[in-house]
Amino acid sequence: MDRENSPKPHPAILSVSARNAYYAGGTHVYMYGINDVPLVGQVRKADYIMITQRDYEVIEKEMQQFVKSGQIALAYKFPERNSLNKRIVLLYEVLH
């Protein structure tokens, strides 16, 4: 994610790494646990949620429900380029 992909000048990004928000020119919203992702994204006013495919699989049913209800939408799916195991990373937009 970079500044070109967000209409907001400083998007709030919920993720385990502050690096993601730094490179997007945004604000990092710390993720305490994968099971709290959708709720924390709403309560803490995150604009985006960034998780790995592996984490997504843990909360897949909840994430699909939030997508169906229009609370979040998949914005981008990409491989981590510098990762040795080529993990897939998912970026969801929180629809306020």
Residue 45: CATH number of its domain: 3.40.190.10
Count of domains in the chain? 1
Q: What is the pLDDT of residue 2?
A: 44
The model's pTM is 0.78
The 10s digit of each residue's pLDDT in 31-82 is 877 776 766 566 568 899 999 888 889 889 888 988 998 889 999 988 766 6
> Which of 24, 19, 68 minimizes the C-alpha distance to 47?
24
Which domain covers residue 27, as residue numbers?
Answer: 3-94
